[in-house]
Amino acid sequence: MRLMIIGQLEGFISQAGKIALQKGAKVVHCEDSEQAIGALLNGKGADLVMIDVKQKIGAFIERLNKERIHIPVVACGIGTDSRAAVKAIQEGAKEYVPLPPDAELIAAVLAAVTEENNTMIADDPAMKNVVKLADKIAPSEATIFITGESGTGKEVMSQYIHRKSRRKDGPFIALNCAAIPENLLESELFGHEKGAFTGATARRIGKFEEAHGGTLLLDEISEMDIGLQAKLLRVLQERVITRVGSNDAVKVDVRVVATSNRNMDESVKKGEFREDLYFRLNVVNIALPSLRQRPGDIPALAQFFADKYAEANGVARKKIAKPAQDALKSYRWRGNIRELENTMHRAILVSTGDDIALEDIHLQDGPGPALSSVAPSTSSGSTSAASVQNPGGVESLIGRTVADVERDLILNTIDHCLGNRTHAANILGISIRTLRNKLNQYKDEGRDLPASVAKGF
């Protein structure tokens, strides 16, 4: 756990840092938010930020988002100043901690962040076999390629491998290659010097340098431009990087874990992904099963997410009723664990009873049979009436253009995901870049976007 402390608060916030040190955290202290941003850009990574409530928290979080630095922020203030606490939460802080610090409260905050980042449920036999393989290869230095459908938990598995490795005391740095524009991805990976390009107002350390001594996750690497793939291959072979705008080589000691939701053999055949890079990355392959292939884990995962969002929204924890559990286990889960998480978030918000009931579970197609039990198509290629889940819904599409149906599907899916575009893209089976382009198109066309969709513009 790497903790960044920002501000003074009459010395109380430093006391919080000392408590965190006693709990095993590595602590960095910055005088103000500007110094903190500079430290983060220059490779001082953090898993959690505790910031003086007197600092400009909203501006700090906005700057973090602009620099694509994803760290939970906890505000700290003297006493129980409810007005300051509410303002901090409204500006984006995840929690408010009153000072002077309570040792148990600081420990609980650190534990909550650690638990949220590290939880992996794997009781189903299909998943147990995967975990056994991960346990065997984790202590090695081998590069690992994790494959599986979108939302199957590839990042959680990569974190699990890091914690089981000899690099567990080093940083774990994740980079989503699909979420960053192509012209910025090279800078994110290798860093840049001041003035290297328009907007480069200061030197920035890239993810390879930030992950020195630890593990670097290259999430959805199959979305990387083919030209940048060649530069990545060189780094993996020579273990040196060159910042954009510099000629100086910098040695890096990093274990790379890559993930993809694509069929990589097909991507290589189509020329979308370099074969030599694929072989370099795919020393060990871990193939994660879809959620429908591990039904034994669904109740435990659903309860975990229900408890998580009950706590986040300040409501009582609730058990999931048996009929609701049965519906969850029989559903197809095209969006896998991410779709289940969104479903349970919504369920805990709408539930009014003592338990989460069947009517609280909102599924896109309604509770239905698992994909494997759907009647197959006839030999002529037509679909039998029994295999159509919602024939009335199909009839309602007649007379509409494909573009209109696609737009409604995209917007409704984002709304279902409570505005989370990454989750929506995974459920839709498209890249975040494609989703972003579609939304920009609808905006340019003057379409009315739901509030949960429009908030990102």
Query: What is the C-alpha separation between 122 and 300, in angstroms, rounded?
Result: 9
Is there a contact between 327 and 356 (Cβ–Cβ < 8 Å)? no
pLDDT higher than threshold 60 for residue 302:
yes
pLDDT higher than threshold 90 for residue 254:
yes
pLDDT higher than threshold 50 for residue 356:
yes
**178 — pLDDT class (breaks 50, 70, 90):** confident
Final residue in a domain of this structure, among 289, 320, 336: 289
Residue 410 lies in a domain: no
Query: What is the C-alpha separation between 365 and 65, in angstroms, rounded?
Result: 34
Final residue in a domain of this structure, among 118, 139, 164: 118
Query: Are 233 and 297 in a shared domain?
Result: no
pLDDT higher than threshold 50 for residue 32:
yes
Q: What is the radius of gyration, based on Cα positions, of the chain?
A: 23
Q: For the sheet with 215-219, list strands across it.
A: 172-176, 215-219, 255-260, 144-147, 284-287
What is the mean predicted confidence (pLDDT) over 137-143? 95
Query: Are 80 and 201 in a shared domain?
Result: no
Query: Are 217 and 311 in a shared domain?
Result: no
Q: How many domains does the chain have?
A: 3
Burial class (CB in 10 A: 0-12, 13-18, 19+), 435: buried
Is there a contact between 175 and 217 (Cβ–Cβ < 8 Å)? yes
Average pLDDT, rounded, for the chain: 83
Residue 266 sits at the vertex; the CA angle it makes with 261 and 270, to the nearest 5 degrees, is: 120
pLDDT higher than threshold 90 for residue 157:
yes
What is the mean predicted confidence (pLDDT) over 36-50? 83
What is the mean predicted confidence (pLDDT) over 399-413? 82
Q: How far is CA 244 from CA 22, 162, 181, 338, in A?
A: 39, 28, 16, 35
Residue 78 lies in a domain: yes
Q: If DSSP codes are grouped into helix, strand and coil, which group holds residue 172?
A: strand
Q: If DSSP codes are grouped into helix, strand and coil, which group holds residue 207?
A: helix
**Length of the chain (residues):** 457
Query: Are 174 and 254 in a shared domain?
Result: yes
Residue 379: what pLDDT?
Answer: 34
Query: Are 186 and 304 in a shared domain?
Result: no
**11 — pLDDT class (breaks 50, 70, 90):** low
Q: What's the CATH number where 87 sits?
A: 3.40.50.2300
Query: What is the C-alpha separation between 51 and 37, in angstroms, rounded?
Result: 12
Q: What is the pLDDT of residues 205-245, one digit of tens each?
A: 899 998 999 999 999 999 999 999 999 999 999 999 999 99
Query: Are 43 and 187 in a shared domain?
Result: no
How much of the chain exceeds pLDDT 90, in percent? 40
Residue 214: what pLDDT?
Answer: 93
**294 — pLDDT class (breaks 50, 70, 90):** very high
Q: If DSSP codes are grouped into helix, strand and coil, which group holds residue 210?
A: helix
123 versus 99: which is more confidently predicted?
123
Domain of 355 in residue numbering reads as: 292-360
Query: Are 101 and 141 in a shared domain?
Result: no
Dihedral angle over CA of 107, 108, 112, 115, nearest 10: 70
Query: Are 224 and 273 in a shared domain?
Result: yes
Give CB contacts under 8 A, 24+ apart, made by 371-379: 371/292, 371/332, 372/292
Is there a contact between 258 and 143 (Cβ–Cβ < 8 Å)? yes
